[in-house]
Structure 1
Amino acid sequence: MRLILLGPPGAGKGTQADFLIQEFKLAHLSTGDMLRAAIKAETPLGLAAKEVMDRGDLVSDEIVCGIVSERLDAPDASNGFVLDGFPRTIPQAETLDGMLAEKDMNLDAVVEIRADADILVDRIVKRAQESGGARSDDNEEVLRKRLDVYEESTAPLVAYYREKGLLKTVDGMQSIDEVKAAIRSALGA
């Protein structure tokens, strides 16, 4: 099973990715993890990413897509994967389509975890208060900015994948177990 998880910050993508990985024995393809691994391994793409990140700039689509492509070639990804944090834009999605076609792979589904932005902000602010503010991005101003970026750049992927017949939408405002059950049902598992 080859999946993409979409949803705004705080919607529970990480929690649900962990569930999918365990349930279906899939590789977890997180772009953040992939970038860190490529940098640590000092691959050519990793060194290029490190140079960009050391300047404080965003890593280009070319580098991110190259790292994703390399990761798709890893043996564990051949059994299926969950892409988490990629693609983030339509151009990245189009590049991913080309990569998968070259590797003779298809996506099985794109799972959108839909969530209300105002409730997410309340949830994250509450989490920060309960945990003593452990995460630097657990404040309302940063979260609202991340939600705006999601709406502008990533939300158009919903329509893109709906048109391809791959989109499965679940209500992310339910309990964790209810969201798991909804994803399982949406995937026909």
Structure 2
Amino acid sequence: MNRDQALTILHQYVKNPNLIKHMLAVEAAMRFYARKFGEDEEKWAVTALLHDFDWEIHPTMEEHPLAGESILRDHKVPEDIIRAVLSHATHTGIPRETLMEKALFACDEVTGLITAVALVRPSKALYDLKPKSVKNKWKDKSFAAGANREEIELGAAELGIDLWEHVANVIEAMNGIAEDLGLAGTPQDH
């Protein structure tokens, strides 16, 4: 399965532009880690693009992502990608065993927190965002309350990377596609 095929599935099931941006952010982070670990970048990218493909049609913890499993099989998505999608949600009870599964879990929640921090900055951009700004907002549990900090910490630990190094890595990865994420700022900001 390649990126174009994954994007076709994504666009078939996802209409919310912010959810699409989230999946692109996770894709950028997964590409970063695939390169870092010498893994298959295309496979990791496809996995990221598909991880929340069913959220709009199965918007509850009871359904997402388990109810999407058969849809992915109908689209001939490889089993290792399906398993990674299923394991990215702790409530499924499917343990994360492979490096790709651990990376997907580690990149998922943190992209949302990074996006939220970028959006409250004067630049509303990633180019000037530093991990310190994320760390400052980390302590405020009411800020981006939907970003599960325990899962972010667990994800970094499972991946074997210091939390703030992980945040820096994901900021760098997302910065590479800041325009697509609506987080590039304006020319006078740079």
Global fold match (TM > 0.5): no
Between structures 1 and 2, the one with greater helix share:
2
- Choose 1 or 2 for highest CA Rg: 1
TM-score range, shorter chain: 0.3 to 0.5
TM-score (norm 1): 0.39
Higher relative contact order (CA 8 A, sep 6+): 1
Between structures 1 and 2, the one with greater strand share:
1
TM-score (norm 2): 0.39
